[in-house]
A and B are shown apart, each in its own frame.
Chain A
Amino acid sequence: MLSELPYDRLLQECLKGELRVVNAHLPSKQKPLSDLLAEEYPHVMCRDGSMHLFKRRELKYLASLIDDEEQKALLLPILLEVNAGRGEVAVICQGEVEEKVIAKVLDMPVTPRQKKIVLYRPQLALVRKQLRTTTQYLFPPK
């Protein structure tokens, strides 16, 4: 009954708009690191039609951390899921290669739980400093 109220509808629209804005930059398709290294202008297309440009320096840094086979498995940009109200961020891992990369960037072992690596704010700052264009925030609608 509550969702029928005009005020609630307004809030729902507001939430939808906010989620649209914060998640508009998500890539329509992630690309493997090996492919991006071969491109002249390494980029991915976003959901809103814009182009997300990767820094070649960062790609080379990532390539230096992992071997050739792992470069094919590492999909970029790496997604960082922001957990609402919990002050932490989770790295979405599709394989072991993300775990290896994050462990090397943080210089400490990390353990994924349910395909996610939990990062706290100081760790997040460190990851974002090293991987400014190769990581992206994701705000889940939950």
Chain B
Amino acid sequence: MASRIQKIVKDRVSILILEFLQIARQTVDIKRQLLAEFAGTYKALSIAAGYHGYIALEKELIACEKDLGIAAGLRNVGGVRIPAFELKEAKGVVRGYSLVDTSSWLDQTAQLSEKCLETIIELAELQRGLELLGREISRTKRILNALEYLIIPGLQATIKYLYMKFEERDREEKARLKRVKVLLERR
């Protein structure tokens, strides 16, 4: 029974580690992607600011403030609940600012910013997943180590001790019977 639990826990740990490593790799990729996107967005914003001027740009940007819709749920990986976020798709591409008074530079900036936002949400999900998986791995490893080095060896020692005791009792019983037989023969 203890060995069965150990096998299941061992499998769980290996699955959790596999997921952890995969998420870690993805996090690194997404972080790199985000940095590149940020660089592109700031570049586009600088060009747009240079083209329109800060005051005009600010005036246009005030108008395009909007609420962010994120669908949040959970996904479960081997008993660990990891949050899952998804940016709600906006209906149409109305951004709020005047298309007549602004240039395509601003459009490009807005487009790149939206992409950055999507990546930030994905990164948040991955980083939280990484934290939760790390915590669960260390917890499960403690259980596994307790089973592997404490409970199973303890049980094996108890079984061995009991076998020895039974054998000892058997030998004592045989010796007693022999002695009784000798005593009976002497009479």
Contact = CB atoms under 8 A, between A and B. Distances in A.
Given A52-B74, A52-B75, A128-B19, A19 B86 contact: no
A7 B84 CA distance: 40
Interface string A12-49: 10110011011011000000000000000101001000
A52 B128 CA distance: 17
Interface residues of B, number: 31
Interface string A42-62: 010010001111011000000
Contact of B71 (A15, A52, A53, A137): A53
A129 interface: yes
B130 to A, nearest CB: 13
Contacts of B2: 11
B36 interface: no
A129 B22 contact: yes
Interface residues of A, number: 36
Contacts of B78: 22, 137, 139
Contact of B12 (A22, A24, A51, A136): A22
A41 B1 contact: no
B77 interface: yes
A59 B9 CA distance: 31
A18 B74 contact: no
A125 B18 contact: yes
A18 B13 CA distance: 12
Interface string B48-82: 00000000000000000000000111111111010
Contacts of B19: 128
Contacts of B14: 87
Given A15-B4, A18-B5, A85-B7, A132 B12 contact: no
Interface of A: 7-8, 11-12, 14-15, 18-19, 21-22, 24-25, 41, 43, 46, 50-53, 55-56, 82-85, 87, 121, 124-125, 128-129, 132-133, 136-137, 139
7 contacts: A14-B5, A22-B12, A82-B11, A85-B10, A85-B11, A137-B78, A139-B8
